[in-house]
Amino acid sequence: MSTFLGMPARPPRSPYGTGNLRGDEPFPRAAHQELGNGQLRRNLHKATTTIRAKRLNVTGELPDWEALRDAGSAIKTDAMNRLPELLEQLELKVTEHGGTVHWARDAAEANEIVARLVRATGSSEVIKVKSMATQEIGLNEHLESAGITPYETDLAELIVQLAHDKPSHILVPAIHRNRDEIRQIFLDRIPGVDPELDNVPAHLAAAARAYLRQKFMTTKVAVSGANFGIAETGTLSVVESEGNGRMCLTLPDTLITVMGIEKVLPRYQDLEVFLQLLPRSSTGERMNPYTSLWTGVTPGDGPQDFHLVLLDNGRTAALADAIGRAALNCIRCSACLNVCPVYERTGGHAYASTYPGPIGAVLTPQLAGMHAADDDPNSSLPYASSLCGACFDACPVKIDIPSLLVELRHQHTEQAGTTPEKLAMKAAAAVMKRPALYTGAQKAAGLGRVVAGRDGTISRLPPPFNGWSDSRDTAAPPRRTFRAWFASDEGRATLRAAADEHDRGQGESDQGPGEPDRNQGEDGTR
Amino acid sequence: MTSARETVLGRVRDALALAPTPATAVPRAYRTGWALPDPERLALFTDRLLDYRAEVHPCTADRTAKVVAEVLRDHGARRIGVPAGLDPRWLDAYDGEVCQDAADIPAPRLDSLDAVVTASAAGCAETGTIFLDGSPDQGRRALSLVPDLHLCVVDLSSVEAGVPEAVARLVPERPTTLISGPSATSDIELERVEGVHGPRTLVVVIRTDR
Ligand code: SF4
């Protein structure tokens, strides 16, 4: 490693996160099992088709949608750049308004903080608002082991919890279940439910209402996540639909909010952007039914004891990667899942992480690492994509997921790849970085085919990618396969030239995997 | 021992030092300062509310009490809750029982109310959103949440055309609730169903001359 001779010592990279961020088997194997489940595929197809149409309707009707996306993307990038000062400001403001701020390095620490706070109240149960962060750290499991019963109150989370199932979607965790299955789960698991309950969604929702009503009225402690935390004012926000969020945020005596450090926004005014981007992208509504905004404690209104737990758990590891950190801009709308042809066929469980789908494929390996040499299932995630680009088109904060996937594949092959794989990856990386070459390759082959499967042969791309064009917002490139293009003289020449150029661009430096600065010097811009 | 706080903040600084990026300017080319004449704002706001299956009653301010009483009667609401600062004249024509809320009334008791009547802080026509901020005429958050019917009186002059204009009206430190239609869920096959834990019926009385 000769790169940084003469430079000051580089700071250490943060440890990776822990919790529900890693499965037992690689994506292709997990996906293969899920693909055998016809019911799952029908459920997913129906749901994602519905939501795609709704989203396009409500994003299309705004004349300034693209300008909102640009603003949203820049606000998040700016927030990441200024994270230390913003977090300190948020802490100060929450404290000024009567809240208590806690910091957690990882999942275990966050879990312990929450359990300790609950114990201090004397309560042995908590009601929970759907939250990705607490799912990620496995809070429910930890609370149960500490003798505290968590009750999920979001309808989909309730379905998942009652069925001892796992969430499969970041917005609609029970998307893999249809109404008949949900009816059966309720009949089997809700004490005292009407045995005549049918499968009409409104009736199923009413059954959940009746079941949870008493919990809302009597439970003294609630645990929530947060969609946004405003540094300027100390205001926290939960965006929801059912009113279970309002119940949890309002009725208990104690509220504990677990928030990833990347959720901080600089200004209150920034809400004007995200309150437009998020609902339209997630449920395809102009506005979600309920959004709660609260700042510390308000005398006479809501919980009088408020705790904010700020969670790292691998976020700083992701932040140290100049390219990969864009994944931290995610506002968890789930649009990228809903348009993804891979997700639509495999479902969320195949990703084996709290974060499935395209964003999961880039976020999970960065939060929890991909230890390629040890056959880590996470190192298969960057390949769980056809790179069709639909996710990038749909993302309200313009995260270029395909490029991030390519970058992660690159990092993976640098760590563990075989020679042909490395060649293809180098070529792909070079092609991606040069607009003219990139466009040429895309024209010839479609971006989806530019990058090889992990064993270096194209045929090993996970199976069902041929349906990708129906979920794209824009016209698909010509359907000449990468294999055909690769086999042609033109393809071979292009890749060879690109690989050579890539090697030249690397210059003397031989930066190892995980070095965040890698590739930045390639175009001679630094 | 280093505290978690110092460790996390230190890691963030290290990460930014490992991968420094130039300062980002935020382009705010999206629509702001959007204004619409009263009739158009009313039409847009009404359209959005109806789309969420809220019930909408436009009226002039002098008819507030009459409309409120009619709505409550039509829904069979015999016992209603009101925040302490609600204009008492709005209930002049109502003949049911009126319970004034107070901070020390336990939330489960609110469950026995047939309805709640509140004012509002602001509105957004384009998204059909009502903003409550806990002012005396809106009350604490539990009051507008637990009863199954929420009747909300909105002055048209407080309804802005778009989201940025409406957000600009808010006071950040106040506990604020954005309400867009009755409670709903899309959790079953991503189909919207109205009516889960929040009020299953939302009635909006829009006072067109206020
Ligand atoms: S990556 Fe973008 S599209 Fe996907 S969930 Fe996050 S914000 Fe939404």
Instruction: Decide: A317 and A387 in contact? Cβ < 8 Å.
Output: no
Position A450 scores a pLDDT of 40
Inside any domain, residue A62: yes
**For atom 8 of ligand 1, which residue has the closest CA?**
A333
Distance of alpha carbon A412 from alpha carbon A178, whole angstroms = 37
- Please, where are the H alpha helices in chain B? 4-18, 38-51, 64-74, 107-110, 163-167
* Residue of chain A nearest B184, judged by CA positions: A242
Probe target for ligand 1 pocket from A227, A328, A332, with the most ligand atoms within 8 Å of CB:
A332
pLDDT (tens digit, 9 = 90+) per residue, A203-229?
Answer: 999 999 999 999 999 999 999 999 999
The atom number, within ligand 1, closest to the CA of A335 reads 3
Per the structure, the count of domains in chain A is 2
Lowest mean pLDDT among A64-73, A463-472, A495-504: A463-472
Whether B52 and A63 lie within 8 Å, measured CB to CB = no
Model pTM above 0.95: no
**For atom 4 of ligand 1, which residue has the closest CA?**
A336
Side-chain-facing half-sphere of A290: CA atoms under 13 Å: 30
Per-residue pLDDT band for B187 (boundaries 50, 70, 90) equals: confident
Position A211 scores a pLDDT of 92
Instruction: Please compute the mean of the pLDDT values over residues A148-164 and round it to a whole number.
Output: 94
Boundaries of domain holding A470:
420-476
Inside any domain, residue A136: yes
**pLDDT tops 50 at residue A145:** yes
**pLDDT tops 80 at residue A371:** no
DSSP bridge partners of B116: B81, B150
Distance of alpha carbon B116 from alpha carbon B127, whole angstroms = 23
- Whether the CB of A336 sits within 6 Å of ligand 1: yes
pLDDT (tens digit, 9 = 90+) per residue, A217-272?
Answer: 999 999 999 999 999 999 999 999 999 999 999 999 999 999 999 999 999 999 99
pLDDT (tens digit, 9 = 90+) per residue, A97-115?
Answer: 999 999 999 999 999 999 9
Which chain B residues are closer than 8 Å to A316 by Cβ?
8, 11-12, 14-15
**Closest to A295 (Cβ–Cβ): which among B9, B146, B172?**
B172
* Element housing A435 (H / E): helix A435-445
Position A526 scores a pLDDT of 27
- Whether the CB of A333 sits within 6 Å of ligand 1: yes
**Closest to A84 (Cβ–Cβ): which among B13, B111, B127?**
B13
Per-residue pLDDT band for A515 (boundaries 50, 70, 90) equals: very low
Instruction: Please compute the mean of the pLDDT values over residues B142-148 and round it to a whole number.
Output: 96
* Shortest CA gap A79–chain B (Å): 9
Distance of alpha carbon A178 from alpha carbon A381, whole angstroms = 27
Co-location of A312 and A433 in the same domain: no
Inside any domain, residue A166: yes
| Nearest one of A452, A329, A495 to A400, comparing CA atoms | A329
- Whether the CB of A394 sits within 6 Å of ligand 1: yes
- Please, where are the H alpha helices in A97-178? 107-121, 132-136, 139-145, 155-162
Distance of alpha carbon A193 from alpha carbon A196, whole angstroms = 9
Instruction: Decide: A401 and A329 in contact? Cβ < 8 Å.
Output: no
Burial zone of A196 (CB within 10 Å; 0-12 exposed, 13-18 middle, 19+ buried)? exposed
Distance of alpha carbon B153 from alpha carbon B57, whole angstroms = 9
Position A109 scores a pLDDT of 97
Per-residue pLDDT band for A417 (boundaries 50, 70, 90) equals: low
Q: Output the six-digit token pair for A346.
A: 């495999």
Position B178 scores a pLDDT of 98
Per-residue pLDDT band for A422 (boundaries 50, 70, 90) equals: low
- Whether the CB of A132 sits within 6 Å of ligand 1: no
**pLDDT tops 70 at residue A93:** yes
Inside any domain, residue A50: yes
Inside any domain, residue A187: yes
* Residue of chain B nearest A50, judged by CA positions: B190
| Nearest one of A259, A237, A217, A40 to A132, comparing CA atoms | A259
Distance of alpha carbon A226 from alpha carbon A87, whole angstroms = 14
Last residue of a domain, one of A288, A303, A318: A318
Instruction: Please compute the mean of the pLDDT values over residues A296-310 and round it to a whole number.
Output: 97
Co-location of A67 and A179 in the same domain: yes
Taking each helix axis as running N to C, give the angle between helix A435-445 and helix A489-506, from 0 to 180 degrees, rounded to the nearest 10. 150
* Shortest CA gap A255–chain B (Å): 14
Place of tokens 């979001």: A154
**Closest to B198 (Cβ–Cβ): which among A48, A77, A246?**
A246
**Per-residue exposure over A91-104, b if at least 16 CB sit within 10 Å of its own CB, e if not:** bebbeebebbbbbb
Specify the CATH number for the domain of residue A209. Answer: 3.40.50.10420
Which SS3 state, helix, strand or coil, does residue A75 take?
Answer: helix
Q: What is the DSSP letter of A195?
A: T
Share of chain A above pLDDT 90, in %: 55
Q: Output the six-digit token pair for A21.
A: 């961020």
Chain A within 8 Å of B107 (Cβ-Cβ)?
A: yes
Q: Output the six-digit token pair for A415.
A: 């760590």
Which SS3 state, helix, strand or coil, does residue B129 take?
Answer: strand
Instruction: Give the Å distances, CA to CA, from A482 to A96, A426, A463, B50.
Output: 58, 16, 15, 50
Position A33 scores a pLDDT of 78
B37-207 CATH choice from 3.40.250.10, 3.40.50.1110, 3.40.50.10420, 3.40.50.2300: 3.40.50.10420
Q: How many beta-carbon contacts under 8 Å exist across A and B?
A: 281
Specify whether the backbone of A44 is left (phi greater than 0), alpha (psi in -120 to 50) or beta.
Answer: alpha
Instruction: Please compute the mean of the pLDDT values over residues B45-55 and round it to a whole number.
Output: 96
**pLDDT tops 80 at residue B94:** yes
Position B21 scores a pLDDT of 85
Pairing of strands B129-132, B122-124: antiparallel
Co-location of A291 and A425 in the same domain: no
The atom number, within ligand 1, closest to the CA of A337 reads 4
**Closest to B30 (Cβ–Cβ): which among A13, A64, A294?**
A64
Whether A233 and B52 lie within 8 Å, measured CB to CB = no
Q: What is the DSSP letter of A85?
A: H
- A430 or B49: whose pLDDT is higher? B49
Interface test with B, best of A246, A249, A517 (most B CBs within 10 A): A246
Place of tokens 């396009």: A56
Angle at B148 between CA B144 and CA B154, to 5 degrees: 45
Taking each helix axis as running N to C, give the angle between helix A435-445 and helix A419-433, from 0 to 180 degrees, rounded to the nearest 10. 110
Q: Give the rounded distance of the alpha carbon of A324 from its chain centre.
A: 13
Q: Output the six-digit token pair for A172.
A: 């609609």
A200 backbone dihedrals φ, ψ, rounded to 5°: -70, 125
Share of chain B above pLDDT 90, in %: 89
Instruction: Please compute the mean of the pLDDT values over residues B186-201 and round it to a whole number.
Output: 86
DSSP bridge partners of A237: A228, A293
Which chain B residues are closer than 8 Å to A97 by Cβ?
173
The DSSP line for A398-426 is ---HHHHHHHHHHHHHHHH--HHHHHHHH
Whether B15 and A174 lie within 8 Å, measured CB to CB = no
Specify whether the backbone of A410 is left (phi greater than 0), alpha (psi in -120 to 50) or beta.
Answer: alpha
Distance of alpha carbon A252 from alpha carbon A254, whole angstroms = 6
Instruction: Decide: A335 and A278 in contact? Cβ < 8 Å.
Output: no
B123 backbone dihedrals φ, ψ, rounded to 5°: -145, 165
Mean residue pLDDT of chain A comes to: 81
Mean residue pLDDT of chain B comes to: 95
Instruction: Give the Å distances, CA to CA, from B93 to A225, B75, B97, B201.
Output: 44, 15, 12, 21
> Ligand 1 centroid to B126 CA: how many Å?
24
Residue type, A260: G
**pLDDT tops 60 at residue B106:** yes
Which chain A residues are closer than 8 Å to B123 by Cβ?
none
pLDDT (tens digit, 9 = 90+) per residue, B8-39?
Answer: 999 999 999 999 888 889 999 999 999 999 99
Which chain B residues are closer than 8 Å to A241 by Cβ?
183-186, 196
Inside any domain, residue A291: yes
* Shortest CA gap A33–chain B (Å): 22
Chain A within 8 Å of B1 (Cβ-Cβ)?
A: no
Q: How many other CB atoms are there within 10 angstroms of residue A33's CB atom?
A: 12
- Whether the CB of A204 sits within 6 Å of ligand 1: no
Whether A272 and B9 lie within 8 Å, measured CB to CB = no
Instruction: Give the Å distances, CA to CA, from B177 to A226, A238, A302, A435.
Output: 15, 10, 12, 46
**pLDDT tops 90 at residue B126:** yes
Co-location of A146 and A289 in the same domain: yes
Per-residue pLDDT band for A424 (boundaries 50, 70, 90) equals: low
**First-to-last C-alpha distance (Å) of chain A:** 19
* Shortest CA gap A480–chain B (Å): 35
Per-residue pLDDT band for A172 (boundaries 50, 70, 90) equals: confident
* Shortest CA gap A505–chain B (Å): 20
**pLDDT tops 80 at residue A415:** no
Distance of alpha carbon B28 from alpha carbon A68, whole angstroms = 8
Instruction: Please compute the mean of the pLDDT values over residues A383-406 and round it to a whole number.
Output: 92
- Please, where are the H alpha helices in A126-200? 132-136, 139-145, 155-162, 179-189
Instruction: Decide: A424 and A485 in contact? Cβ < 8 Å.
Output: no
Longest dimension (CA), chain B: 70
